[in-house]
Amino acid sequence: MTHYILVHGAWEGPWSWDYTTPALERTGHIVTAINLHGGDGKGHNVTNVTMESYVETVVNAINPLDHKVTLVGHSMAGAVISQVAEQIPEKIEKLIYVAGFLLKSGDSVMEAMKRDPDGEFLPELIFSEDQSSAKASEQTWRNKAFHDVREKRILEALPLVDVAQAAEPFLAEISVSEERFGSIPKVYIRTAIDKMVSPKLQDEMLQNWKVDQVHVLQSGHFPILSVPEALAELLD
């Protein structure tokens, strides 16, 4: 039995794991979906939201446990779980990145997205006047993020992602070391038809650190919505 700690990406909340969680629980595992934003996870206030606050939220959820966990990060949460592992490597059994940002120390999510030759989501973002947050239109979500997700699930997700996402977590440089973060086993799940974090960027990030296993899903950026059962099988 494994205790999975699931960490959602930007704009999302713990609801984004709703289809994956039952599939993992049916096989006897413990599953905890972290809410990075607080409240009910259905919308969030960008005030005082930072990468550091995200990392602290996950660390605080894991520290009271008397066992190691498998930490799973989707998308931007890849950068979050890397830094959690840097802080408490003794509590982490394994790191699993689902189309996640597996970055070198000193890099940021934003810089990686800017390097992505096939990334189609970043150019579509609508930033606030002070550049502190960003949103995306329904058309962008449909065409660049949910293009392989069934309509019913798109309609469920659209109101929940129609929120401003703080920019600071994207801009923050991460700090990880070979001795702590580098010592933990890593698995990467690639998403083969991803328009947000393209396969080319995923391949680049796979060169940053030793990765023990690489799996491929024929999905866009949200296998948690498009193929959650197949994702759960790989996580298991």
As annotated, the active-site residues are 75
Q: Determine the Cα–Cα distance for residues 223 and 227; give it in Å rounded to an integer.
A: 5
Tokens at 133, concatenated: 């947050």
From residue 29, alpha-carbon distances to 24, 26, 68, 73 in Å are 6, 7, 13, 17
Question: The tokens 């972290």 sit on which residue?
Answer: 34
Q: Determine the Cα–Cα distance for residues 176 and 163; give it in Å rounded to an integer.
A: 30
Q: Determine the Cα–Cα distance for residues 13 and 160; give it in Å rounded to an integer.
A: 8
- Would you mind telling me the total number of residues written for the chain in this entry? 236
Do 182 and 190 meet the contact criterion of CB atoms below 8 Å apart?
A: no
Residues 4-14 as b/e (b if ≥16 CB within 10 A, e otherwise) read bbbbbbbbbbb
Q: What are phi and psi of 5, to 5 degrees?
A: -105, 115
Q: Determine the Cα–Cα distance for residues 105 and 127; give it in Å rounded to an integer.
A: 26
Q: What are phi and psi of 178, to 5 degrees?
A: -65, -35
